[in-house]
Structure 1
């Protein structure tokens, strides 16, 4: 880590103890006041610290907002994980949990299949956003202007003959997903892999995450996997109830 970044980050735990003036910050860091002022100004520009009317500095609102966002994402994973494990134990297939973050859909949890054939997917890895069932659920819930803007700027790789071909087709599919309350990927990314997914909602009813069950054709057919949809939706609803305290509206996305 560079010395400048290290010093800047050292300011945050200092201010967590309470407001401090420039001299106190400089003394704690062991630097000249001019150096401390440059660091504080940079943090101030990003909303991470705030200068009070008495010229002392405190932690900024932006920092609390980022912390709250991080906690919310962590909470949904922690709450969901036992449910994902139980679903995996019941059906035996790979179970994923994903979120939409900074124009990407990322896996934040995974429980592997009990079968010898395993899916190549990793926690923290972006999904194939134009075909993945979890991505369809997360994008379908975006406000329409944002949804159209995101869809229009995506590329549409031809993974298989069943891949989404273009933006117009994707918008139609997302409209269907919104209406039916679930999503699937039946060979759109890999011809041999099928997937069904359901949404997890926050207290405001918005989709905060999506969970899915995936399996290769050599284990179950697409039709057989689709029979698990009620179980997948019940699991997603159970996570929603625990995460938000709300009972999910039937068939709503």
Structure 2
């Protein structure tokens, strides 16, 4: 990276801390004021910084617009899919990716198990919202008032003896999920199916999706599935890093 570009980009995190005058920018960059002014003028011309009436500079509206546009055009499924495939190759079990949309939690990707016993979940199909591990993660991240309002509106079908019975129990479980940072469904929807899930987070730390590994207990016990939690969380963290731009995208083959 050229020195000029490096210096110009260094101005942006400085202004993210708050407005700064020419002298402050020059001091932070370790350059003469004339050099800092030249950089600021270029950034100002592109709408990335704005000069206030008090002659201090702040981040420009164009920068926020670019960030918003970039976020809207990010496809979490496209980013996550190679990671899901890699995890599936490592553990052999069904891997899902889900998002929360319009009061439903939907599967948006699935990589099937290598074992003969398969799950009947489908991409685009809503999950059992009161028991599914991915749903617990997505709903646990909602603001408390919104979380409580939603919990009170939901029905609580007893799919199995382990299903969540009511709003009080559901809210208690969501609070536990918030604290521990992962979730399970151990026979809550189907007696024979267990699942462990981890959150995918955006640049602001909010949960944008949830991914899970599921398997029937004729293939693996609940305890054995839970032992995969570190791998599931590492995969979710890798997706989060790529989605939020915290880690560089590497060339890869799947």
Asked whether the two chains share a fold, i.e. TM above 0.5, the reply is yes
Which residue of structure 1 lines up, in the alignment, with residue 240 of structure 2? Answer: 240
Q: CA RMSD in A?
A: 1.7
Alignment of 1:87-236 (within 5 A): 87-236=87-236
TM-score (norm. length: structure 1): 0.69
How big is the shift at 1:71? 3.1
Task: Measure how far apart 1:211 and its partner are.
Answer: 0.1
Pair 221,76 (structure 1): closer, same or farther in 2 beyond 3 Å: same
Per-residue deviation at 1:161? 0.1
Q: How does 1:21-60 map to 2 (within 5 A)?
A: none
Deviation at 1:68, TM superposition (A): 7.3
What's the offset of the Cα at 1:200?
Answer: 0.2
CA distance in 1: counterparts of 2:246 and 2:163, whole angstroms? 35
Q: Is the partner of 1:150 in helix, strand or coil?
A: helix
Structure 2 unpaired stretches of 5+: 1-67, 248-254
Shift, 1:67, TM fit: 8.5
Give the total of aligned pairs. Answer: 181
Match of 1:71 in 2: 73
Q: Which secondary structure does the structure 2 equivalent of 1:209 belong to?
A: strand
Q: Secondary structure of the residue that 1:191 maps to in structure 2? A: coil
Who is 2:44 aligned against?
Answer: none
Shift of 1:122: 0.4
Change (3 A) 1:231 1:219: same
**Runs in 1 of length 4+ with deviation above 4 angstroms?**
66-70
The structural deviation recorded for 1:69 is: 7.4
- 1:145/1:221 CA distance change after superposition, 3 Å: same
1:50 corresponds to = none
Q: Give the match for residue 23 of structure 2.
A: none
